[in-house]
Each structure stands twice: as C-alpha cells, then as structure tokens.
Structure 1
C-alpha cells in the first residue's frame, strides 16, 4: 500500500487590506515568503514588517556590535525591494529569544498599532519539512505570534498597552505560517519571484558569509527550489506555501 497524495493547496484568502509579518531575524522573510509579499503589495495591500532581533549573532566573522546595524540596514533594503516601507525592530537578543509574556506583549502591541487582518510568521514547529531541526528563535517567535494575535484583542491581557494608547484590536482573521512542514494554502510565486530574488540579494553580507556560491546564483537557485517543491499540490505552478490558522 502507498500513502495517499497530499491534498491540494488552497489559495490564500485575499479579502484583506493590512498584514503584519513578524519573524525573528533579518532574512527570515526573504527566505520564507517575500515573493508573496511582493504580489500582495503590487495588488495594493499594506504589509508591515516586525523583527524580534537585528540578527546580530548571525555572522560568525562579524562582532554583534557591527553585525546588528549592518543587518538592520540590509533588512530595510530587502523590504523596500518588495515595496514594504514600515520595518520595526524589537531588540530581543539574537539566538536567545525567550517565549513568554514579554515577547507576547511586544508583538501584541505591534498588532494593536498596525491593526492587521492577516498576521504572517515563520515556522514555529520543531522541525522543517525535510526533518531538519528548527532553531529556538523561530519556534519562540512563531508560537508567540499565534498567541499574541489573540492577546491583542483582549483588554484584560496586558492592560498597560491600553494605558499607552494602544486599544485592543480583535480584527486579526488569520495567522499564516510560512515554511511550515504542514502547509494548507499557497500564493503563486511567479508574479513576485524576481522581486523576491532581489530582496534576498539585499542580504549580501549575510549571503557572502553563508556560502561561497555567487550570491545571485544562490538566491535564484534557493528560491526556485523552495517555491517549486509544492508544484504538484498547486496546479503545477511554483508557490509560496503557508499553514493557515483562522481566528
């Protein structure tokens, strides 16, 4: 006997106006879903980015004091490449982000500021699809995003936010998890693919430290492979896949 084929990926909902993408590090969105973001922005949707860290511990050959500002600048350039103008950083420590009330409160505050209908994050599960172990930062931030989407609408959780003028926002309708090992929905990668490549290339310092391969060759190959893996579940088209949680 053989296992049944995975179910087709459904199209992501598009009846929304504002999204907030929350991830741990600079480059998480560029590896995860920037081609989808490019398409959404081109369609007139408002997307903002929130980074828990500045990625200061991500380059072995650079002291964190130098790496943090450099990676922040590269992230802002990467966001601009797909039309995203609002980029915020929370200043949690790269590599040792802790899941808990402090992280949930920071994310809930951002949700109340931006008032999104869609919240996007990166894989919060222990492993990636290939069985590789995920990092603690991704797990902590992804889980906190799922919880903070609800926290943002509850006036009795983090009441200090209301005292700061951040009134509850219960308008989050979905949380979409990019690079999940169990995706359920997808967006065509074709319209935003070239912008996605350019966006990943803005992390040039990081890429040059990561691989000896030519950065553009690497970025184009990686994104081509990662968006092609779900073709069979999305009418043969390259796709940016998400696990979608409704609220």
Structure 2
C-alpha cells in the first residue's frame, strides 16, 4: 500500500522590499514567524510590526493598566532582536477586538502609510491545525487576521474609507502582492528558519512576563522547545530544512 505524503512547500518569494506584519497581541509574531522575519531583515528587507492591542488583558496577575505598557516594552525589545525597529499599536481592547469597518480602516491606513509588498498575519480561522490538536482560536486572532486580509484590498480602493485621503492625506496603495498567513492549517509556502532560529528563541524570550505565567518550565527551554520543534516539524515538507510555514495568498 502506497503511503500518502503531504506536498512539498514552495519557498516564499523574495522579490519584495517592504512587509507589514499585522497581528492582535504582543508575542503573536514571536510564536508564529520571528525566524522568518530575522532572515528577511538580514537580507535588507524593511519589516514593520502593527499590533491591534497592547496585550493588556493577557496576564491574570497584572492589572491591565500596568500590563499594557509592560507588554509594549517587551514587544519592542522582542522586535529589535530580529531587526525590526518600527512597532505600532492600534489600541483596540485586548480580548474583545471586533471585526468590522473600524478595524479594517485602521489596518488599511497603516498599509497606505507603509506601502508594503507583503502583508503578514496570523491564522484567522476558527481553529488551529492538527499540530496543536485543533484547538479553538482566539477571537482576537480571528478578527485581526480576517481584517488584515480585507484591508489589503481596502487600501487600494480610493472609494473605501475615502476619509483616509481627505483627512489623513493617505493615498491609495494597491501594491500588496501577497498576504502570508502564519499558523495556517493549510500552508503552501515556507521560509528557511536556519539563520534566524536562535534569534527567534531570544525574541520570544523577551516576553518573559507573559511566559513565566504561562508555563512552569524554564523560560528559555520552553521557547527553544516550542520554536525549534515547530521549525523541525515543517522540515519534511521543505527539503529537510527547518522552516516557518505560511499560507500564501496572491493578490
């Protein structure tokens, strides 16, 4: 009987210069794709992070008023480890982000400001894939991921959110060529994680306040086990190379 194997993943195209990574919370990118980001910035690409919230509701033992600024500091430190200097926050409320025109407008405005070729976001579907047991996905992840997909088109249409032009002077930008979805259960492409894997561990480790509440393990051992394990799990579908997987949608 012939054993069925999953199809090989294609390399994410590298003929682009600017990326905007749009996620809900501090640490979303570090759990999802920081090794890929490190490789991109090493290659001279410009990557900006856009977070819908400051993660202020993410730590049960810390009041949101204290937690938000703490997690913002950790996110900026985390981004710097992988060569990202520009980190922006939209100040939607953590835990209750609503998909809708307000969120789409905010993300479309950022796309018009930064004019990316590539938009990166996180799994927007109801559940995660079998690698994490098909667990239910966060409502914030679902809302932000879906809004990012829609905003990639909104940003190029001058008649959708015309106030972005009339009030903010943001010209339409129809230059998004791809949206790359990290954490997808149906990946199509991948990025070699070899050069960036160690930095991705150190990047996730910057979120120490969150991680120390999340697990009883040594924080660095936890980060390394999670990220190296995920990258190695992708390797059989990417020529044996540890990698970060994405579902890549062309526009």
For this structure pair, what is the TM-score category when the shorter chain's length is used for normalisation? over 0.9
2:236 equivalent to 1:232 = yes
2:202 equivalent to 1:185 = no
| Distance in 1 of aligned mates of 2:173 and 2:2 | 46
1:15-164 aligned within 5 A? 15-130=15-130, 131-163=134-166, 164=168
2:200 equivalent to 1:200 = no
1:212, distance to aligned residue in structure 2 (A): 1.0
TM (norm. structure 2) is 0.97
TM (norm. structure 1) is 0.98
| Distance in 1 of aligned mates of 2:64 and 2:232 | 35
| Distance in 2 of aligned mates of 1:14 and 1:150 | 21
Unaligned runs of 5+ in 1: none
150-159 or 228-237, which deviates more: 228-237
| Distance in 2 of aligned mates of 1:168 and 1:203 | 35
Q: Secondary structure at the match of 1:87?
A: strand
| Distance in 2 of aligned mates of 1:191 and 1:127 | 30
1:2, distance to aligned residue in structure 2 (A): 7.0
Q: Which runs of 4+ in 1 moved over 2 A?
A: 1-4
Unaligned runs of 5+ in 2: none
1:4, distance to aligned residue in structure 2 (A): 3.0
1:237, distance to aligned residue in structure 2 (A): 1.1
Matched residues, number: 247
Cα root mean square deviation, aligned: 0.9
- Tell me the equivalent position of 2:172: 168
- Tell me the equivalent position of 1:223: 227
1:231, distance to aligned residue in structure 2 (A): 1.4
Q: Deviations over 1:123-157 (max 9, x none)?
A: 01111112111110000000000000000000000
